Amino acid sequence: MSIRIDDAVGVHERALELHMQRSEILAANLANEDTPGFQARDIDFAQEMRRLEGREPRLALAGSDPRMLYRVPTQASQDGNTVELAVEQAQFSRNSMDFQTSLTFLTMKFRGLKQAIEGR
């Protein structure tokens, strides 16, 4: 009986990829904190995971950029920039922890597969 890696790792591969894309988006927001007129962006992680769920595992990430949303600031700045440092740092930190959690689950999956292959 063969094991398909796509079936074995499940949703965790797609979650890691989406977390990496979100990290890039949040890092761009942080880098443009002082850029006049810059509009902070983000993605709805849960919505993107649901959108990717219905696709073939190999096609889910290929050429499927997440749908970008504009972040609405709680306090608007006079120069039109919508980046709020505390919000972006908190979102970046949370995304990093979520990435680490997905990576831990993926590591556990591979450890279990290895044990199954070795017959333990």
Under 8 Å CB-to-CB from 66, ≥6 apart: which residues? 18, 21, 22, 43, 48
Token pair belonging to 111: 């450890």
73 to each of 32, 45, 83, 86, 91, how far by Cα in Å? 15, 19, 7, 11, 14
The model's pTM: 0.81
Percent of the chain with pLDDT over 90: 57
* CA nearest to 80, candidates 27, 42, 35, 41: 35
Judged against a pLDDT cut of 70, whether residue 83 lies above it is answered with: yes
Instruction: Please give the mean pLDDT across all residues of the chain.
Output: 86
The pLDDT tens digits for 25-81 are 999 999 999 999 999 999 999 999 998 887 655 444 555 678 999 999 998 899 999
Residue 3 confidence (pLDDT)? 62
Which residues lie below 8 Å from residue 70, measured CB to CB, with a gap of 6+? 39, 40, 41, 82
Tokens at 8, concatenated: 């074995």
